[in-house]
Structure 1
Amino acid sequence: MIDNIFDFIGGNHGQWKILKMEPIVGETLKQAPYLKIVKSSTVKSSEGVWSLKGLISNIRYTEKEEKEKLISIQADLGRPEATKAALIPIKKSEVWWTLAQDERRKIFEAQSNHTKTGLKYLPAIARKLYHCRDIGEPFDFITFFEYAPSDSEAFEELVYSLRKTEEWKYVDREIDIRLIRE
């Protein structure tokens, strides 16, 4: 087991009940009643209806000042009051990946204000980003968000704001999976 690799398993049991699974762009995943999140290894899990793997890596497209600000106000996952969650796997287009790092940064922050937008919703909405592209997964990123039921409207505003940006024009596949901790 490696500390920074996780499996997100859709199946018949898990910490989170799946309330809905909606494809925003592209194909969805098979329906499953629960989501289980476990520390993993590089071996593909055969458990569940579907399994996605992601790893916690260095922060990309974020400059030092932005990173420090995020770290200073970002809440940790697992807060008792955060009983609602969203798992959002995303795959970006090959056009995105052929852009140079500085071109992606310009779209990500200068044009789309990704970090600035996210900061408005901290610490109420906690999130963790998992990278998948470099380990051969079908998605490039998985973002896991947790929030209290009283912050549901704020979460909807956050995802709406991010989906109308220049950056989202490069998304080929996105699934919005909403969860509740039982």
Structure 2
Amino acid sequence: MQQTTSVSTLWAHFVPVAEIPIGFDTGRMSRLDRYVVREVRSVRGEAPPALRRGTGLARLESEAPIRFFNNGYKESGGFLLHGAVQHLHYTGRGEQTELKTLSRPELAASVETTAVLIPIGKSPGWWAMSQDERQILFQKTARHEGHFGIGRKYADRIFRRLYHTRYIDPAAPYDFLTYFEFNEADAPDFRKMISELRDVKSNPEWLYVDFEYEVWMTKLSLSAEPSS
């Protein structure tokens, strides 16, 4: 099985609200959400210095890249986290059907809605393996529960979306953006899920993760103003 390098037409950009130009036409966005950052947690690697508590973030999804973020962005001291939705590379048809049945939808903006963004980079050893070799590490076996087995236990409480970056921005220090939403009351379950995913005895795939940090946010209504 060969991994495709094509990307979906659904692109996502996580950017500081302050960096969005005045008069920017949001009508062509398929999604526009706003957040305020509560905490940035280093795991392996550091977040951009400008990404810190109190930062107002926007998530923009569109059918094409947003070009005004491409020129002079890094030089300005800002940051851009972006990716594109692709098909699920390591999930079989039966697993996809099961996930659609189990998975909760995105939550409405609320002070009780927590969002966590985790940029993740995989090691050269991961990308040197074949698609089939990588897929085995995701599956449940007699020896380990695997990524899918762990994630499905929490799918009814934790919304997840994966964005791919590796093939659209090879210079980025991360290969994926993993985005989660859940009620604040379910935060202990989220922490437990992440702990299980990082346990390489239960999920050997995580042996190949060499870059990650967590951005904890509150999902705001579009009219709300973030406060530091």
Same fold (TM over 0.5): yes
State percent identity of aligned pairs: 29
Root mean square deviation of aligned Cα: 2.2
1:6 aligns with 2:49: no
Aligned residue for 1:175? 213
Whole-angstrom distance in 1 between the partners of 2:9 and 2:206: 30
CA contact (8 A) 1:12 1:48 kept: no
CA contact (8 A) 1:11 1:50 kept: no
Instruction: Number of aligned residue pairs: give it.
Output: 181
1:173 is matched by which residue type in structure 2? Answer: F
Work out which of the residue numbers 26, 37, 53 in structure 1 matches 2:82: 53
1:143 aligns with 2:178: yes
Aligned residue for 2:161? 128
2:208 is matched by which residue type in structure 1? Answer: Y
Deviations 1:15-56 (A, max 9, x none): 111111112112322233122101243337139821111111
Q: Which runs of 5+ in 1 are unaligned?
A: none
Whole-angstrom distance in 1 between the partners of 2:79 and 2:199: 29
1:146 is matched by which residue type in structure 2? Answer: E
TM-score calculated relative to the size of structure 1: 0.89
1:92 aligns with 2:122: yes
Q: Which is strand-richer, 1 or 2?
A: 1
Moved more, 104-113 or 91-100: 104-113
Moved more, 105-114 or 16-25: 105-114
Work out which of the residue numbers 28, 34, 39 in structure 2 matches 1:15: 34
Deviations 1:128-155 (A, max 9, x none): 1111111015121111100001101000
How far is 1:3 from its partner?
5.1
Aligned residue for 2:225? none
TM-score calculated relative to the size of structure 2: 0.72
Whole-angstrom distance in 1 between the partners of 2:116 and 2:138: 21
Matches within 5 A, 1:32-51: 32=51, 33-40=55-62, 41-42=64-65, 43=67, 45=69, 46=73, 49-51=78-80
Q: Secondary structure at the match of 1:66?
A: helix
How far is 1:180 from its partner?
0.9
1:79 aligns with 2:112: no
CA contact (8 A) 1:3 1:39 kept: no
1:106 is matched by which residue type in structure 2? Answer: I
Superposed structure 1 runs of 4+ greater than 4 Å apart? 11-14
